[in-house]
Chains A and B, each alone.
Chain A
């Protein structure tokens, strides 16, 4: 049988890991899917390029910000080389491209399962107030700013310390207005406008990973408590939880926004209050935890994207709380050849 070729981005399994390796592992573990994983990388040194037990072949892409035409053409080249039928973008910066070109890609035989541009916009960090009200969560005092003067006024109103967050990535704690300004300029330089200033609330970091079916329902969801995080704020150890308020909010989000594709709900929970931090429009880097407890979200998503039947026997209907997630580091020693091929040819060279 011809394997199903799936392209997965975000294979940068570094200290701030992309979600791709967890997604790829999940697909490999779906016993009803015979997959061949194509890693879509932006740098020859992304570790996933060399993880050949997870990624069958890897190709370099230009950044989407370098121009949609070049990105589209490169995807088509990879499709022609590999027979790729599905692409799972896992990085925030890829989303605008895939949302905009979803129909054209589908017409060219590349299936995706991503939200519409409107759904994506409505969950943006600059719309948190409305989002929190819609899904029934509390929101720390939040202001969206587009100038240094607005930032200073927002800090005055909210009070120090504050979180200063980029439109796409990064969040910094600022203890002084000067510190907030430094973070503001840094975020604008890297990610553009707007910048979000948010009150710091105390509590546990609880998150949910889920996939919406695009019709108001869920293909599955799993909650986690971050027990140990790195200096970059990335989960290193976590445990599955069933926090009713967060699971309810996830369902409310799907129902209200008809979300199609993966998402991560981030909250700070203090007692009975669940504060919305943000909703990310993609799989989180820890999404393999869901697969590990029997909720294989990437596999469910691929089946839905291609209209494939449910597996036999079916997936477990739900998951157990109290399952531990532990990340670890590992090293690979390999020949320079693959690196050279990535640099010179833009591909690892494992496609016949």
Chain B
């Protein structure tokens, strides 16, 4: 989580990791999830935000959050 917290993220979804120099581009869903993680929300709460913001079903939002968390683990950000 410390790497997630140290990411510099702009409003357009460009994220820069000052430790490694890696940079990432986030879509609006990813940006919403990432900001939720940085606020220490759990996966269910973040999925609820995704469902509300993008008007998708709870199941679909939960899948999006799970997929995104996997992606963060792949990049060793979680």
Contact = CB atoms under 8 A, between A and B. Distances in A.
Interface of A: 204, 206, 224-225, 227, 238-244, 269, 271, 321-322
A204 B18 contact: no
B27 interface: no
Interface residues of B, number: 9
A142 B42 CA distance: 45
Contacts of A227: 21
Contact of A242 (B18, B22, B23, B76): B18
Contacts, number: 34
A241 B76 contact: no
A204 B21 contact: yes
Contacts of B19: 241-244, 321
Interface string B1-38: 00000001000000010111111000000000000000
B21 to A, nearest CB: 3
Q: Which 4 residue pairs spanning A and B have beta carbons closest together?
A: A225-B21, A321-B18, A241-B21, A239-B21
The A interface, classified by DSSP as helix, strand, loop or mixed, is strand
Nearest to B16: A322
A227 B16 CA distance: 13
A96 B20 CA distance: 34
A266 to B, nearest CB: 14
Nearest to A244: B19
A271 B76 CA distance: 7
B21 A206 contact: yes
A269 B8 contact: no
B8 A322 contact: yes
A242 B20 CA distance: 7
B42 to A, nearest CB: 25
29 contacts: A204-B20, A204-B21, A204-B22, A206-B20, A206-B21, A224-B21, A225-B20, A225-B22, A227-B21, A238-B21, A239-B21, A239-B23, A240-B21, A241-B18, A241-B19, A241-B20, A241-B21, A242-B18, A242-B19, A243-B19, A243-B20, A244-B19, A269-B20, A271-B76, A321-B8, A321-B16, A321-B19, A321-B21, A322-B16
